[in-house]
Chain A
C-alpha cells in the first residue's frame, strides 16, 4: 500500500516537473501545429490559435486542466499529428517493442552465456581475448557503431537496407521487416552486451571464491555440476534484478538507434516532441517512461527481497548496506 502511494506520488511529481519545464522552455508550440504558416499569422490569429489550444492561461491553470483530462483518460491531441496523443503512441509502440524486446531478450541470453564462458575459463586465452574485445566494443558510441554498420553493410556491400522499418508498400511482409530489423537490432545488442556479460562474469568469479565451492569440490562433485548447480544458482538472482533495472537503459539505447536508422518508433517520436514542443505527446511519453522505470526498479527490489529477506527488514533503499551500529 505504501509502495502504491509512493508510486503515484512519484508519477505526479514527475508530471509536474516535466509540465513546468517544457512550458517554460522557449520555443513556439504553434509551429508544430500549423507548420510554416505561423510566420504569416497576424497577432489576432495567433491569439485565436493559442486560445483554441488553451495555451494562453497561466501554467498552473493549464496543468490542472491537463491533469483533470488525463485522469479521465484523455491525454489531449498531438499538435503535430492532429490525433489523440495516445493514438499516435499506440501506432508507434509496436515497432519499439519489437526492437527493444527482441534486443533485450538477446542481450539477456547472450550475456549470460558469454559471462559463464569467460568465468569458466578464467584467465585463459579465450577469457582474455573476449575481455579485451568486449572492452573495446563497449567503448564505441552507439550512434557511431550504427553509422559504421550502415556504411559497410548498406552502402558498400548493399546487403541490408539502411533505414526504416519496412519498404514502401510491403507493410505486411514479414521477411522484409526482419531484414530491416537486422542492423538496428545488432547495434542495440552489441552496444549493451559486454556490460552485462562482464557483470555476470565478475559475479560468478566472486561466487567461485566462496568457501562452499571448496566444500562441494572436496565432497567430490565435478567442476561442471558445482558451476551450474551451485554457483550459477546463486549468481542468477542478482543478475535478474540487474536486468530488471536495465530495461529502461536498453530502451533508452533504442532511442538513439531508432534515430540513426529513422526507424518509426517511440524514440524518434519523443525526440520530435521535445524538439518541437508537442506538449501533450511529450507529457504522455515522459509519464510512460517514468512508469516503466519505477515499475522496473520495484520489480528488481521485489526480486531481491524474495531472495534475501534480510533486505526487507533493513534499510529499504540500500542493497549493500551493512548495519554497523
Chain B
C-alpha cells in the first residue's frame, strides 16, 4: 500500500495476484467435495442391493437397540432393523421426494409466475394476492390438511404434497423477472409472429430467468428433503414401515428413553451432510454475479 504520513491512498490497490490461466485447475472454485459426496450417496442408494448386509425391513427382535458393532455396522433401531442397510435403502425415498417435489413445484412456479407476469394488471394483482394468502397459511397446516384428504401417506403422496406447497416464493421471483423482460423487443416480435404462450415461455422467457431460479430449484430440493424428514419425524409423514431418513428419526423418542444415541445421530448425520452438500452446490450456482471491489479498504 502506498502509505504517507499525512495522507492515505484509498480506492487504489495493487492488482490481485491471479495465477496464470494454464496453472488454474479446472476444478478451482467448484465444490468438488460436495459433488463427490452427493454422487457417492446417490449411487450408493441406487445400488444398495449389492452391498447391504441385512434386509432393511426385517425386524430382528432378538437384536433390538444393539450398539454399532461388527455384525450391525451402525447398530440396530428399537425394532431390530439394521441401520446401515436402512440408511442406503431409505436414502432412495428421501432423494426421490426431494427431486420429484422440486420438479413439481418448479413446474407450477414457472407456469404460474410466467402467466401472472404476462397477464393484465388486474389479473396479475389478483394472482399475487392469492400467492400471498398461500404464503400466509402456515405451511405445516396446509400439509397436514392435504395429507388428510389424500389418505395414508406414501412416498408419492408426500412428494406431491411438498411439491404443491413449495412453489410460491419461486413464482414471485419468476413473475418479477417476466415483468421485466416481457416488454423487450424480441418477445413482442415473437408475439407478433403468432407465437403461443408456451412457445414464448419456453423459447424466449425461460432462457432469461432460468439462471436466477436454478439456485432456488436446488435449494428447493434441500428444503423438500428437510420437510419430509420433519413431517415423518412428527408422525404425519411417512409411516414407520416405509423407510426413509425421516421415518428412521421418528423412532427417536423411544431412542431417547433407551439412550441409544446411534439411532438418532447416524441418520441425522447423513441427512445433514446431504443437505449441506446440496446447499454448497446451490451457493456455487448463485456465485456468478459481478464482482466489484470493496471501496472501504
A-to-B contact residues, CB < 8 Å = 6, 10, 13-14, 17-18, 21-22, 24-27, 122, 135-136, 138-144, 147-148, 150-151, 155, 162, 205, 208-211, 213-214, 217-218, 223, 226-227, 231, 248, 252, 255-256, 259, 270-271, 274-275, 282, 286, 289-290, 293-294, 297, 315, 317-318, 320-322, 324-325
Contact between chains at B129 and A135 (CB < 8 Å): no
Interface flags for B1-31 (1: CB within 8 Å of A; 0: not) read: 0000000001100000000000000000000
Contact between chains at B137 and A18 (CB < 8 Å): yes
Q: How far is the CB of A202 from chain B (nearest CB, A)?
A: 10
In the complex with contacts A25-B148, A139-B276, A14-B252 CB distance below 8 A: no
Q: Which A residues touch B10, using CB under 8 A?
A: 214, 217-218
Contact between chains at A317 and B128 (CB < 8 Å): yes
A255→B236 CA distance, assembly (Å): 14
| Top 9 closest pairs, chain A to chain B, by CB | A293-B136, A25-B148, A217-B10, A213-B295, A139-B275, A139-B276, A214-B295, A209-B292, A144-B268
A324→B297 CA distance, assembly (Å): 35
Q: Which A residues touch B144, using CB under 8 A?
A: 271, 274-275
Contact between chains at A270 and B296 (CB < 8 Å): no
Closest to A218 in B: B10
Q: Which A residues touch B135, using CB under 8 A?
A: 293
Q: How far is the CB of B34 from chain A (nearest CB, A)?
A: 11
Contact between chains at B138 and A223 (CB < 8 Å): no
Is B46 part of the binding interface, using a Cβ–Cβ cutoff of 8 Å? no
Contact between chains at B295 and A270 (CB < 8 Å): no
A-B contact count (CB 8 A): 155
Closest to B172 in A: A317
Contact between chains at B176 and A318 (CB < 8 Å): yes
Contact between chains at B230 and A141 (CB < 8 Å): yes
Q: Which B residues touch A293, using CB under 8 A?
A: 135-136
Select the stretch in B56-64, B79-87, B258-266 that faces chain A: B258-266
A22→B137 CA distance, assembly (Å): 13
A136→B269 CA distance, assembly (Å): 11
Contact of B139 among A138, A252, A275, A325 (CB under 8 A): A252
Please provide the chain B residues from 118 to 138 with a CB less than 8 Å away from any CB of chain A in the complex: 125, 128-129, 132-133, 135-138
Q: Which A residues touch B141, using CB under 8 A?
A: 18, 270, 274, 282, 286
Closest to B130 in A: A13
Contact of B259 among A140, A142, A155, A290 (CB under 8 A): A155
Closest to B139 in A: A252
* Total number of B residues with any Cβ neighbor in A under 8 Å: 53
Of listed B137, B138, B233, B264, residue having the most chain A CB within 10 A: B138
Q: Which A residues touch B128, using CB under 8 A?
A: 317
Is B157 part of the binding interface, using a Cβ–Cβ cutoff of 8 Å? no
Is B279 part of the binding interface, using a Cβ–Cβ cutoff of 8 Å? yes
Contact between chains at A135 and B230 (CB < 8 Å): no
A230→B129 CA distance, assembly (Å): 36
Of listed B133, B222, B265, B297, residue having the most chain A CB within 10 A: B133
A290→B138 CA distance, assembly (Å): 8
> Could you jot down 22 A-B contacts, CB within 8 Å?
A17-B133, A18-B141, A21-B149, A22-B145, A135-B280, A144-B229, A144-B264, A151-B261, A151-B265, A155-B256, A155-B259, A208-B295, A211-B295, A223-B296, A252-B138, A255-B138, A256-B140, A275-B144, A275-B236, A289-B136, A315-B179, A321-B180
Is B271 part of the binding interface, using a Cβ–Cβ cutoff of 8 Å? yes
Contact of A252 among B140, B179, B233, B268 (CB under 8 A): B140
Contact between chains at B11 and A290 (CB < 8 Å): no
A275→B283 CA distance, assembly (Å): 37
Contact between chains at B180 and A324 (CB < 8 Å): yes
Q: Which A residues touch B252, using CB under 8 A?
A: 147
A192→B265 CA distance, assembly (Å): 21
Q: How far is the CB of A8 from chain B (nearest CB, A)?
A: 13
Contact between chains at B148 and A141 (CB < 8 Å): no
Q: Which B residues touch A140, using CB under 8 A?
A: 272, 275
Known: A14-B136, A209-B293, A248-B136. 18 other contacts (CB 8 A): A10-B136, A14-B137, A18-B141, A21-B146, A25-B148, A25-B149, A147-B268, A151-B261, A155-B256, A213-B295, A217-B295, A217-B296, A252-B138, A255-B138, A256-B140, A271-B140, A274-B145, A318-B179
Q: Which A residues touch B176, using CB under 8 A?
A: 318, 320-321
Closest to B222 in A: A139
Contact between chains at B296 and A24 (CB < 8 Å): no
Is B108 part of the binding interface, using a Cβ–Cβ cutoff of 8 Å? no
In the complex with contacts A13-B133, A255-B138, A210-B294 CB distance below 8 A: no
